Structure 1
Amino acid sequence: MKLPSWVIRELENGIMPTLRNCTSMGELRQLHAHILVFSLSQSNFLGTQIINICNSNRRVDYAALVFNQVYEPNVFLYNAMIKAYAQNYHCSEAISLYKQMLNCQHAQNSVLADRFTYPFVLKACAGLLLLVLGKLVHVHIFKSGLTSNSIIQNSLIEMYTKCDHLVDARRVFDEMEDRDAVSWNTLISAHARLGQMRKARALFNSMPSRTVVSWTALISGYTMAGRYFDAVEVFHHMQLESFEPDDISIVSVLPACAQLGALELGKWIHAYCDKHELLQKSFICNALIEMYAKCGSIDQALQLFEEMKDRDVISWSTMIAGLASHGQAHKAIKLFVEMEKDKRVRPNGITFIGLLSACSHAGLLDEGFSYFDSMKEVYGIDPGVEHYGCMVDLLGRSGCIDRAVQFIESMPVPPDAAVWGSLLSACGTHGNIGTAVKAMEQLIELEPEDIGNYVMLSNIYAAARRWDSVAKLRRVIRSKSLKKTPGCSLIEVNNVVQEFVAGNDSNPHFGEISGVLYLLASQLGHSGYQRAMEYEE
């Protein structure tokens, strides 16, 4: 028997306060049972609240069951379900429900999409990278007269940027009357992700009011583009304008510090994180460990690692790789053994790259192959080309050139330039000219413009006193107009990183620097060099 509408409203109003205070799925199930007992399963009012609670608890499956029980869902129920799907990465289901909603527009009980519908439909389009569908939704928005809604406009910008269609994203941005921080930051981040740093910087400079998100987008973009000096410079300017770095801006600038060797800045960031209780976040500690390792402070990296309470697989992998790169292979292997005892984490492919690299540096051939075999047999990890490259490097360093060639020929994945480069380097160490030529043939096909390979082969020929081959190779280099990348070194002084490039005398202090270098060289040439050699002995 269908209850009168006034009775339904009274029951809904009686249940809703308790439902609003419900947070756990256990409580929700009990309330839902009462709702079913009172024959309120068709209540859009209560159903919408139930779906919102399910969304908060990431129980989309339960939300879908509730939605599907309602014969005539209204726009609020549709919106709640589409939102739950989109926010929990069920993008295809969100799109399907939107299409179902559109079909209802032509039915007797029509349901029209509103300003709360479109942001989550666009989020689903962006999640699936469906540009064509996103454009179709844009047309629906235009026909609905909602194109001036700022939340929808920001959602359109985000959809277009995620689908790599910056022209339409910029068009929506330019048409906006009231741009907020989200509008600016979304577009700046999009240009930065695609490496268009000039456009990103121009937008940033024209912002009426910046946020820490704006600064972070620029720092992250410069770091991803390999423009580490610019990333650090922007980070400094952010602080000068009284913006306090957050966790995202910190993990964006730390890789730049690592690449530049900006240890003092890295130490300052570490102290800042400690003061603001950011070291509780494992991703912050992981970035700091990598920075210390790449800046040569492996002991500080290890100390921070040991102080961590919650180590994830990235923490272990970063520390193992850091120890391996510092020649502390046995410590790296010992750390891996400790990792295996920790049941909360499981090694992944990146872990094994560091581990195999450690075996390679230490010349641990048998151990290296044992760990390589355990990847598939124990952990179910299919080795990638990087792992095969580590094994070729291990064989090469151990002088097993022929075995390295056989290993490459048996690889189930095509060897890349790094694999052949390792073989070429090993041939140089062990004077194997025949295999060096074979490796070079492959490298010419994979990276014909890399002069480093030609130089390496030339050095191999020179070591064997094959001067005619050296001369021939140099003619090839000249004919291809190949140029060697100048040598570069970095030094940090008073929190400022100075770069020195071979052959570049544009530094304003070049004369003074040259004078000091001459003085040091002359002193080293007399007594200093002799004392240094005696100390080494």
Structure 2
Amino acid sequence: MEEALNVLDLMEAQGMEPEPSLICILLKSCAEAENLEFGKTIHSRIVGTDLEKDVYVVNNLINLYAKCGCLEIARNVFDEMSNRNEVTWTTMISIYNQRGFLDESLKLYSLMKLDSRVRPNAFTYSIALNSCAKLRNLKMGVEIHEDVVKDRCESDEFIVTALIDMYSKCGSIDSARRVFNKAGEPTIAACTAMIDGYNNNNQAKEAMYLIRIILHSRLDMKMVRELGFVCMIRSCTMEAAYRQGQEIHAHIIKFGYDLGAQTCSTLVLLYEDCNKMVLARRLFDKLVDKNERLWGQMILGYVKNGMNSEALKLYVEMVSEDVKPSSFALSCALKACVGILGLKEGMEIQGRAVKVGCCLSDDSFVAALVMLYRQCKLPEEVQKITRIHKS
């Protein structure tokens, strides 16, 4: 950075103005490194020069200040520009979107439409639609969709995905499906958005129907993997659809997909909801790298299916493998103790909780412990734990 400044000093001493491309490179470097001080120094060197009017240089200045968290300065630079291009507008709209100023992002989009010198591009539309999705602003989303149609870019794959996501999050799932159907050959991103849309609108059966079509289509293995088996299995879990889940599991095996903790956890959740704990345990045992959450999920599965002794055996196995139990896993193990009135086991779990620092600060753990002592008719312990938890 210092060397670059020396070069700028030398050029200034010789009466030479640096090329816009050089300034853009330096500003990009500052933005990537979040070096605000050096970026401001470069900014000071171009004030009063023709570089200050170069749209690409100023675009990079806006990006620099945004990356460094100076949103107000970035907006001031934007407002002072006499000539803005599509990138300028889109950059500023994107900055507001990323920083959570969603209303401001949409206001800026509306202002951009009033500028006859520019028109939104696919990226601009996608960001504006994303702001509508986050705000659940269906009215504005429909207006932007109309703009997209007028601009004849509704077939753009990014816009298709953004439209499906916007309509789904605004609760207009039928509109989302119409966009999906009109796409002809939707991308993986569009398929994922549509499945998630159904799941999030409590229409898991529709999601499963779409999943079946996808799995029996001519999509290659790579595309199906990108779609994500977790997304597919979640629909089956919501409906406790055992057969459909098995079908997806069969495709996982067919494609030689390596089960990660997340996929395995989702399958375990499906099988435990369908009272298929033998299958869930078989999957669990095959997984080499098990995280604390998965151990807890498996223990909870046994508890939910009334297999409390199996749940405690698995808890003991977890401890013997030196896995540091999470508060979730400990709470699940305590629920198993409640099921068999295992006071001794429950007190041992409480002791381990204290040891690993999960004491009485976790609400779910305290609730399970109180339930155990209450079932074992120990009101003094219940009062003691409640008093400590409240203090």
Q: Structure 1 length as normaliser, TM-score?
A: 0.57
Show the counterpart of 1:320: 331
Matched residue type, 2:70 = Y
1:399-410 to structure 2, matched below 5 A, reads none
**Alignment counterpart, residue 121 of structure 1, candidates 125, 128, 136:** 128
Measure the CA separation in 1 of the matches of 2:150 and 2:370: 60
**Alignment counterpart, residue 137 of structure 1, candidates 126, 139, 144:** 144
Show the counterpart of 1:257: 271
Measure the CA separation in 2 of the matches of 1:248 and 1:81: 36
1:153 has 2:160 as partner: yes
Measure the CA separation in 2 of the matches of 1:87 and 1:261: 43
> Which structure has more helix as a fraction of its residues?
2
Deviations 1:295-348 (A, max 9, x none): 324343455467457x7xxx2133233234233321333244335479xxx944
1:12-411 to structure 2, matched below 5 A, reads 12-22=20-30, 26-39=34-47, 44-49=55-60, 52=63, 61-70=69-78, 71-72=80-81, 73-103=84-114, 105=115, 110-207=117-214, 208=217, 209=219, 211-212=224-225, 213-228=227-242, 230-259=244-273, 260-263=275-278, 265-269=280-284, 271-274=286-289, 279=290, 284-295=291-302, 296-301=310-315, 303-304=317-318, 307-308=322-323, 315-326=326-337, 327=342, 328-338=345-355, 340=357, 347-375=361-389, 377-378=390-391
Measure the CA separation in 2 of the matches of 1:42 and 1:352: 64
Matched residue type, 1:62 = C
Gaps of 5+ in 2: 1-14, 303-309
Deviations 1:386-411 (A, max 9, x none): xxxxxxxxxxxxxxxxxxxxxxxxxx
Deviations 1:69-111 (A, max 9, x none): 23124321221232233344432332232233234x26xxx44
Does the 8 A contact of 2:328 with 2:365 survive in 1? yes
Q: Structure 2 length as normaliser, TM-score?
A: 0.75
Q: 3-state SS of the aligned residue for 1:211?
A: helix
Larger radius of gyration: 1
Relative to structure 1, is the Cα distance of residues 244 and 340 closer, same or farther in structure 2, using a 3 angstrom cutoff? closer
Measure the CA separation in 2 of the matches of 1:25 and 1:363: 62
Measure the CA separation in 2 of the matches of 1:139 and 1:353: 52
Measure the CA separation in 2 of the matches of 1:54 and 1:330: 56
Matched residue type, 1:333 = Q
1:343-492 to structure 2, matched below 5 A, reads 347-375=361-389, 377-378=390-391
Relative to structure 1, is the Cα distance of residues 231 and 35 closer, same or farther in structure 2, using a 3 angstrom cutoff? same
Does the 8 A contact of 2:268 with 2:283 survive in 1? no
Relative to structure 1, is the Cα distance of residues 28 and 273 closer, same or farther in structure 2, using a 3 angstrom cutoff? farther
Does the 8 A contact of 1:290 with 1:301 survive in 2? no
Q: 3-state SS of the aligned residue for 2:35?
A: helix
Matched residue type, 2:281 = G
Show the counterpart of 2:7: none
Does the 8 A contact of 1:329 with 1:361 survive in 2? no
Gaps of 5+ in 1: 1-6, 379-537
Measure the CA separation in 2 of the matches of 1:294 and 1:302: 16
Deviations 1:380-436 (A, max 9, x none): xxxxxxxxxxxxxxxxxxxxxxxxxxxxxxxxxxxxxxxxxxxxxxxxxxxxxxxxx
Does the 8 A contact of 2:204 with 2:236 survive in 1? yes
Relative to structure 1, is the Cα distance of residues 41 and 303 closer, same or farther in structure 2, using a 3 angstrom cutoff? farther
Measure the CA separation in 2 of the matches of 1:171 and 1:247: 35
State the 1:15 CA deviation.
Answer: 2.9
Measure the CA separation in 2 of the matches of 1:307 and 1:54: 48
Q: Which moved more, 1:33-42 or 1:168-177?
A: 33-42
Deviations 1:122-180 (A, max 9, x none): 11111111111111111121222222222111110111112221111111112214421
State the 1:48 CA deviation.
Answer: 3.6
State the 1:22 CA deviation.
Answer: 4.7
Deviations 1:355-389 (A, max 9, x none): 333433443423323433455x44xxxxxxxxxxx
Q: 3-state SS of the aligned residue for 1:116?
A: helix
Relative to structure 1, is the Cα distance of residues 34 and 22 closer, same or farther in structure 2, using a 3 angstrom cutoff? closer
Does the 8 A contact of 1:22 with 1:28 survive in 2? yes
Show the counterpart of 2:10: none
Relative to structure 1, is the Cα distance of residues 299 and 63 closer, same or farther in structure 2, using a 3 angstrom cutoff? farther
Does the 8 A contact of 1:157 with 1:173 survive in 2? yes
Does the 8 A contact of 1:67 with 1:77 survive in 2? no
Measure the CA separation in 1 of the matches of 2:301 and 2:229: 25
Alignment length (residue pairs) = 349
Measure the CA separation in 2 of the matches of 1:352 and 1:51: 50
State the 1:9 CA deviation.
Answer: 8.2
State the 1:247 CA deviation.
Answer: 4.6
Relative to structure 1, is the Cα distance of residues 299 and 82 closer, same or farther in structure 2, using a 3 angstrom cutoff? farther
Relative to structure 1, is the Cα distance of residues 172 and 322 closer, same or farther in structure 2, using a 3 angstrom cutoff? same
Matched residue type, 1:321 = C
Q: 3-state SS of the aligned residue for 1:112?
A: coil
